[in-house]
Amino acid sequence: MVEKLLRSHASVRKYKDYTLTKEEVSALVETAQHAASSHFVQAYSVIWVTDIAKKEELGKLSQNPKQFETAGAALLLCADFHRLQVAGKLHHTEIEIDTTENVLVGAVDVALFAQNLVIAAEAKGFGICFIGGVRNAPAEISQLVDLPEGVFPLFGITLGVPDQQNEVKPRLPVAAVLHENSYDSAKYESLLTEYDRTMEEYYASRGSNQKVANWTQQMAEFLESPRRPHIREFLASKGFHMK
């Protein structure tokens, strides 16, 4: 049952007219909190954006307004070391947050927490969509929801009752991501060529937004130039100089 649920994931971008209750959102967050956490620091916080004006602005700033229009709940997932600084002060200790390791710890903690939340939501019949576009305007979004130093947004999650369900995208072959004992790059050319054919068939036959494309072509175009170069400066403004 769990395996079937995990294999059925597809992003949902249009939701029915249903707003999640505080009890529903709280239950999902509580379940998500049981994810693993490095040294149990639990370096994450969630901003549940219920204010209509803020929700609309979040959509605009993340360059994903349509994702938020019908969402039954809009969540902003943040790495949070401010709470840990407060914990340190309770013991008259200054917490050193300004390290590259802490940025990684925060990002991993948030990702593990978010995946738990997503699985819990989908198990209840809700649909979700991750909004990485939050990183298009992290400073403005931080100001919008009053994020203090030591806290930075990583991505958003919209969720609700699906009104339109997309097909599941074929993933890379297991052989392309599973290596035994040592990393093997020699297999990629044949495996990726095979995967491109699979993706071409998927894009040509799916129910909506059909197109002529494959995976390697999209990755080449997507990663040809550096993305979001402002992130380093933004993290420094939040107290993370990547020491």
| Interval 163-196: pLDDT, tens | 988 899 999 999 999 999 999 999 999 999 999 9
Q: Locate 55 and state its tokens.
A: 């929700």
Asked if residues 9 and 122 have their Cβ atoms less than 8 Å apart, the reply is yes
Which pLDDT does position 55 carry in this prediction? 97
Which pLDDT does position 207 carry in this prediction? 83
Asked if residues 40 and 84 have their Cβ atoms less than 8 Å apart, the reply is no
Q: Locate 87 and state its tokens.
A: 């914990």
Which pLDDT does position 164 carry in this prediction? 82
Helix (H) or strand (E) holding 92: none
| Interval 91-111: pLDDT, tens | 999 999 999 999 999 999 999
Domains and CATH numbers, the chain: 2-167+224-237 (3.40.109.10), 174-219 (no CATH)
Q: What is the dihedral of CA 202, 207, 210, 215, to 10 degrees?
A: -30
* Strand extents, DSSP E, the chain: 44-48, 73-80, 127-131, 151-160
DSSP 146: T
Q: Locate 21 and state its tokens.
A: 């209750």
